[in-house]
Structure formats: C-alpha cells, structure tokens
Amino acid sequence: MSTVDRKTQRRKLDLAQDILGYRFKNETYILSAITHPSAVEGKPVKYSYERLEFLGDSILGALVADAAFHRFPEIDEGGLTRIKVSLVSGQSLSRVADDLGFADFIIFGQSERGTGRRGLHSALENVYEAVVAALFLDGGLESAKAFVADTLLEYMDLDMASEPENPKSMLQERLQEDGITPTYKLIETQGPPHDRTFITQVYAGPKALGSGVGRTKKESESQAARSALDQMEPDRAQEKHDRERTSEEKAGPHAVRKADVPRGRPEGRTAEKADGPAGASASSALPEG
C-alpha cells in the first residue's frame, strides 16, 4: 500500500517534469522513476525506480561510451574505460542529480522520511539512471541522449583517462614506497536494508587520508582511495584548474562557465507537449493509495 498521498505525488510529478524540461506522454514512467521503494511498500516492483534503474544503467553506459569514443579518438580502450567508469560512478551521478534539484522531487515513504533520508546519496544516483530509462521509454533514444548530453557529458574530461581503474591498488603502491599499508574502516551505514549507502575512511597509520561513499562497501573503499590520491596530487589538481581558467580566458568575458549555469531545466531543452492517449493521463499514472 502506498504511504504517499496523491496530492504529494502530483506535486512532485509536476516538479520533476519542470526540472527535466520534458512533458511525458505516459507519466507512469516518470512517476516510477522518482519513487523510492519505501513509498510503495507492498506493491509490485514496477511502482518504484528499481526496474527502471536497471535499464537506465545500461543505456547510460552505452551513451557515455559512445560520446567518449567519438570525442577522444586518440585514447585507447583502457583510457576510454576509465573515462566511462569515472563519469557514471555513483559519486558522479549523485552529485549531478543533486545539482539539478532531484532531491526536491524524489518521493520517499514514511519509513525513509523517518530516518532523515540518510540514503539520499544512493537515491539520487538511482533516480538519475531511472530518469534516463523513463525518457528512453517515453521519447526514444534521442530524448535520453539529449538529457545525458545536457546534464552529464559536459563533465567528461580527458584527465579521466589517466585516473586509475583500481585506485585502491594505486594508493597501496604509493604508500608502500614509504613502508606504509593503507587500512579501510567503515564509519557509517545509511538507509534501509534494500537501499544501503556505505561511508568508508582510508588511513595511513592513524592519519585519515580520505573518505568515500558508495552503494557497496567495495565502491565506498574505492572512492575513499580515489579521494586520498587526489589529495596526494595537489599539483595535478592545480594544473587542471589552470587549464580550465586559460580556456575560459580564451573564450572571452561573455563565455558561460559551468558554475554559472543555474539549477533547474537544462539549457537548450524544450518541453514536449503531453499529447498521448487519455489512458496515459496524470491521474491514471498515480497508483492507488
């Protein structure tokens, strides 16, 4: 039985479509995509984002791989893989979804709201993937591709090709040069059993080097190692900053920087008119309370 009233569903459904800049012909897709499993406990799995997340993950991977392949013709298979892995990581997707304002329209059930939505990081990632699938099902591949291009591909960077596929191994190699072995400690577990988020800290002796968040313990350890490596390479980070600044200066004073793009509807998107059959109307999309 749904733990969310229809008025709340309607409000969040409208907000989601406003932020996406897309009107669904069949609102069932987007409603499922923004609904956390805790909001439809006892109902079939199709009413939450879980199945759409599975489909969206595959579509997203293909779109990012295609973009990297054509954007960087000089990069080998290993580099392309590292670019893809970095861009579709849970940390990347949750950050992008949060910047777009997804947290304002995700529908949580009472059990999750009671925890202060501790699993929000994981939910943001899941909903981003589910939205990709919803757009694909409702508007075809071009709709999904436009969304990914507008919201994610702008962060694709050549530097990602040199990031380690296995940051834990690289961190261990770095530290062992000084006779140190890194250790990992799970410091917090958030969310209900079906939607866990793990937070891990990596240490060199008693010194904390970095922390990471992931949907599995392994992913959180990997993100912690990557964070530690980033902090150990300030020169590389500074070089990247200097290159971006130089590019902006060359573009001229009127160029739009990523940081200047407002939250909400992605630039260049136009809303599509909901001209589907009556059976696909908003009211029919809402599950019974």
- DSSP lists the bridge partners of residue 200 as 186, 212
Q: Does residue 100 contact residue 111 with C-beta atoms inside 8 Å? A: no
Q: Quote the domain boundaries for residue 29.
A: 6-163+260-285
Cα of 15 vs its chain's centroid, Å? 19
Number of alpha carbons in the 13 Å side-chain half-sphere of residue 153: 21
Residue 41: its pLDDT value, please? Answer: 79
217-232 helix and 234-251 helix, angle to the nearest 10 degrees: 80
Strand-strand pairing, 183-190 and 207-214 = unpaired
Total number of domains constituting the chain: 2
Q: Which candidate in 27, 53, 57, 221 is catalytic?
A: 57
The CATH code of the domain that includes 240 is 3.30.160.20
Q: Are residues 40 and 112 in the same domain?
A: yes
Q: What is the chain's pLDDT, residue by residue, as a tens digit (289 residues)? A: 345 688 888 999 999 999 999 999 999 999 999 999 888 877 877 889 999 999 999 999 999 999 999 999 999 998 998 899 889 988 889 899 999 999 999 998 876 654 455 568 888 999 999 999 999 999 999 999 999 999 999 999 998 887 766 788 888 888 888 888 899 999 988 877 777 888 999 999 889 999 988 888 888 898 899 888 888 875 445 555 565 555 555 555 444 344 443 344 444 444 444 444 333 444 445 554 4
Q: Which candidate in 27, 112, 125, 129 is catalytic?
A: 129
Neighbours of 173 (CB within 10 A): 10
Residue 254: its pLDDT value, please? Answer: 45
In a domain, 206, yes or no: yes
Q: 213: closest CA among 61, 65, 92?
A: 92
Locate the DSSP E strands across 53-192: 183-190
The CATH code of the domain that includes 56 is 1.10.1520.10
Q: Does residue 20 contact residue 127 with C-beta atoms inside 8 Å? A: no
Angstrom distances, CA of residue 38 to CA of 132, 172, 279: 21, 39, 26
Q: Are residues 187 and 94 in the same domain?
A: no
In a domain, 1, yes or no: no
CA–CA separation, 116 and 180 (whole Å): 38
Residue 286: its pLDDT value, please? Answer: 59
Q: Are residues 23 and 147 in the same domain?
A: yes
Residues across the chain: 289
Residue 274: its pLDDT value, please? Answer: 41
Residue 244: its pLDDT value, please? Answer: 54
Please report where in the chains the tokens 């907000």 appear, as a residue: 15
Q: Are residues 125 and 172 in the same domain?
A: no
Angstrom distances, CA of residue 85 to CA of 20, 57, 126, 162, 167: 24, 12, 16, 12, 12
What SS3 class is residue 215? coil
Q: Distance from first CA to last CA of the chain, Å, rounded?
A: 6
Is 57 designated active site? yes
207 contacts: CB under 8 Å, gap ≥ 6: none
